[in-house]
Amino acid sequence: MASPRVLSGIQPTADSFHLGNYLGAVRQYVALQEGHDAFYCVVDLHAITVDYQPEALRRRSRIAAAQLFAVGLDPERSTVFVQSHVREHTELAWVLMCLTGMGEAGRMTQFKDKSAKYGESSAGVGLFTYPILQAADILLYGADKVPVGADQKQHLELTRDLAQRFNHRFGETFTLPEPYIVKGVEKITDLQEPTAKMSKSSSSPAGILDLLEQPGPLRKKVMRAVTDTGTEIAFDEENKPGIANLLRILSALTATPIPDLEARYAGQGYGTFKKDVAEAVVETFTPIRERTEKLLADEDELDKLLAAGAARARAVAAETMAKVRDRAGF
C-alpha cells in the first residue's frame, strides 16, 4: 500500500521563519517525511494577498525554501516546491471558489484578523478567498494529513467541506484531509504579548524569535520576554502566560516534559530559567542558520532542487486536475 500523503504550505512573508513556525509546523514536516509521501510548498501566491514588494517576495521564497532544506527536509524523500511553479493550484482554487458560499467564506476568522488593518472593504478579495486557495493546495495532492498550527484548524474544516461537496456533486475525487496538530506547540506566543500568537506579522520584532537571527539578539529577546511579577516557574496559562510559553518552548526544544522543568527550576529565579531557554534556542537555531546561508550562497543548486520539486509536484497536480476537469464538465 502507498504511504499516507502529507502536504503543508508556509508563506514567504518574512525574511525568516520564526520559532512558532518551526515548532508548530516545520519541525513536524521533518518528522513526517519518515513513513509518508510528503509535499511541502512555499506558498508565494498566498503571500500576495497582503501588501508586498516583488523583489522581497522573490528573495523570501528562496529563503523559505532554503530554510526548509536546512531544517532537514531531504529532497529525495520530500517534494519541496514553490506554489506558483505549479499552475494547477490557481486553477483548482477557481473551481472550489465556485462551490463556496459567501457566508461560508466570511466566517473565516483569520480573514477577520488580517483584514482588520486594511478595513474590511479595502482588504483584497484574494485575502478573502485565501482559505479556498489553501484548500486547493491540499486537495490537489490528495493529502491525508496536514501538519499545521492551531490557527489553521478552521481552514482545514473548510477544505474538508469543499472536498465533500465536490465529491457529492461530481463523484468521488478528493481525499478528506485531517489536520495534524501537535499538542503543546500548536500555539507558541509572542514574547512581548504572551497571549497572542507569535506571527510574522507581529507588531514588534522583540516578540518574535527568527530562525535566521544571530545568537546575540536571540538571547536578548528571551531575557527581555514579558513575564509576571512573581518568582515561581509554574505552568499556569491563565495567570502566567509568559512563563507558560517559555516552559512550552524549553520543553519542546529539549524534549523534557513540563513537570520535570517545573521541578528542576523550583526555587530558582526567572533569570536562570530564561538563560537556559535562550541557550536552547541558540543551540537549535545556529546550525539551521548556517545551513540556510550555505544553501542560499549556491543559487544554481537551489534552483535545481526547486525545479525538481516542482516537476514532481506538477505530475501529481496535473493528474488530479485532469480528473477535476473531466468531472466538472470542461
Smallest Cα–Cα separation from 17: which of 300, 298, 284, 304? 284
311 Cβ partners below 8 Å, 6+ apart? none
The CB-of-97 to ligand ADP minimum distance in angstroms stands at 20
The CB-of-210 to Na ion minimum distance in angstroms stands at 16
- Residue 139 interacting partner from Na ion, ligand ADP, none (CB closer than 5 to 8 Å by kind): none
- C-alpha to C-alpha distance for 173 and 223, rounded to whole angstroms: 51
Residue 97 burial (C-beta neighbours within 10 Å; 0-12, 13-18, 19+):
middle
164 Cβ partners below 8 Å, 6+ apart? 176
Q: How many residues does the chain have?
A: 330
Residue among 209 and 243 whose Cβ is closer to Na ion: 209
Three-class SS state of 212: coil
Residue 270, C-alpha cell as written in the block:
526567572
Binding-site residue ranges for L-tryptophan: 137
Contact flag: residue 192 with ligand ADP (CB under 6 A): no
Handedness of CA 259, 264, 269, 271 (dihedral sign): negative
The CB-of-236 to Na ion minimum distance in angstroms stands at 26
Positions in 149-188 near ligand ADP (CB under 6 A): 149, 151-152, 186-188
Residue among 148 and 288 whose Cβ is closer to Na ion: 148
- Residue 177 interacting partner from Na ion, ligand ADP, none (CB closer than 5 to 8 Å by kind): none
The CB-of-207 to ligand ADP minimum distance in angstroms stands at 10
Positions in 252-311 near ligand ADP (CB under 6 A): none
Positions in 21-60 near ligand ADP (CB under 6 A): 21, 24-25
Contact flag: residue 245 with ligand ADP (CB under 6 A): no
- C-alpha to C-alpha distance for 288 and 69, rounded to whole angstroms: 9
Residue among 24 and 142 whose Cβ is closer to Na ion: 24
Catalytic residues: 114, 197, 200
Contact flag: residue 148 with ligand ADP (CB under 6 A): yes
- C-alpha to C-alpha distance for 28 and 24, rounded to whole angstroms: 7
Positions in 131-170 near Na ion (CB under 5 A): 151
Please give the backbone phi and psi of residue 328, each rounded to the nearest 5 degrees, phi first.
Answer: -85, -5
The CB-of-9 to Na ion minimum distance in angstroms stands at 10
Rounded to an integer, what is the distance from CA 114 to the centroid of its chain? 16
The bridge status of strand 37-42 relative to strand 78-82 is: parallel
Contact flag: residue 10 with ligand ADP (CB under 6 A): yes
- Positions touching Na ion (CB under 5 A) are 151
- Positions touching ligand ADP (CB under 6 A) are 10-11, 13, 20-21, 24-25, 148-149, 151-152, 186-188, 197-201
